[in-house]
Amino acid sequence: MTFSVLAVHAHPDDEAIWTGGTLAKYADEGARTAVVTCTGAEGTLRARELERALDILGAGEPRLLGFADARNPDSAPGRPRFLDVPFDETVGLLVGHIRDVRPDVVLTYDGFGGYGHPDHVHVHRAALAAVEAAGYDQLYLDAGDPWRPHALYLATIPRSVVTSHWRAIFGADPEPGQALPGVPDDQVSAALDVSRWSERKWAAMHAHESEVGRGASMTMLTSLPEPARTQMLSNEWYRRIAF
């Protein structure tokens, strides 16, 4: 059986930013890889950019749930915000993709959604519920045959990496009491050196051209000072939950 990896993300561009190195590495090593993106609709510019990014990463065709970004209704015109969709419906849709792909490993964000974006936090919760539910033959009977992945990997950043680059990125120290991205270093259970795939990751990030100049996280990442950029492109970190 071919090893299989499924990443579950909120927005087109997150697959490259958070898991691009991991996806490229496993695709090169012969694994089947796939990405579910919860917001963004087919036929939009961002969906076409996602298609290009997935092509660069070797992760197949887009699997779009088609809901709207919490902060950008144009991401899926006329569709509900992902955050407003009944939780059970979202979990059922994700169960369908898990049972279709039959992944050994599922990737998503940590419990803080990496840096607190409400769509990311929601994806974390839905993916956690869906990975468990997918294994039960009593649940979501119309969504395919039961399948239980071995592990869920939560993309995160070691707190020491966040604090060491904070000043270079934001020009000041964090405010006292500010909620910082990432988790304490001793809670990171897997650190992947993806430096061999960092150019592919960079190219996949830049496939999301419309995001690069929009002032969102892509703008911040593409304007990162060295060595923060090299460190972020060459490493991907995860917390592991076994099932």
Does position 236 interact with Zn ion (CB under 5 A)? The reply is no
CA pair distance 116, 43, nearest whole angstrom = 28
Q: Which is nearer to Zn ion, 11 or 165 (CB)?
A: 11
CA pair distance 205, 54, nearest whole angstrom = 10
Does position 69 interact with Zn ion (CB under 5 A)? The reply is no
DSSP 3-state percent helix, strand, coil across the chain (nearest 5): 50, 20, 30
Q: Which is nearer to Zn ion, 11 or 208 (CB)?
A: 11
Give least dist CB 120 to Zn ion, A.
6
Does position 11 interact with Zn ion (CB under 5 A)? The reply is yes
Q: Which is nearer to Zn ion, 76 or 133 (CB)?
A: 76
Q: Which stretch binds Zn ion (CB under 5 A): 2-10, 53-61, 171-179, 196-204?
A: 2-10
Give least dist CB 157 to Zn ion, A.
14
Give least dist CB 123 to Zn ion, A.
9
3-state SS string for 84-143: HCCHHHHHHHHHHHHHHHCCCEEEEECCCHHHHCHHHHHHHHHHHHHHHHCCCCCCCHHH
Give least dist CB 83 to Zn ion, A.
13
CA pair distance 103, 105, nearest whole angstrom = 5
Q: Which stretch binds Zn ion (CB under 5 A): 7-15, 21-29, 75-83, 143-151?
A: 7-15
Does position 14 interact with Zn ion (CB under 5 A)? The reply is yes
Figure out which of the listed residues 7, 10, 127, 221 binds Zn ion, where binding follows CB under 5 A. Answer: 10
- Structure token pair of residue 130: 């869906």
Tell me whether residue 92 is exposed, middle or buried, using C-beta atoms within 10 angstroms of its C-beta: 0 to 12, 13 to 18, 19 or more: middle
Q: Which residues bind Zn ion (CB under 5 A)?
A: 10-11, 14
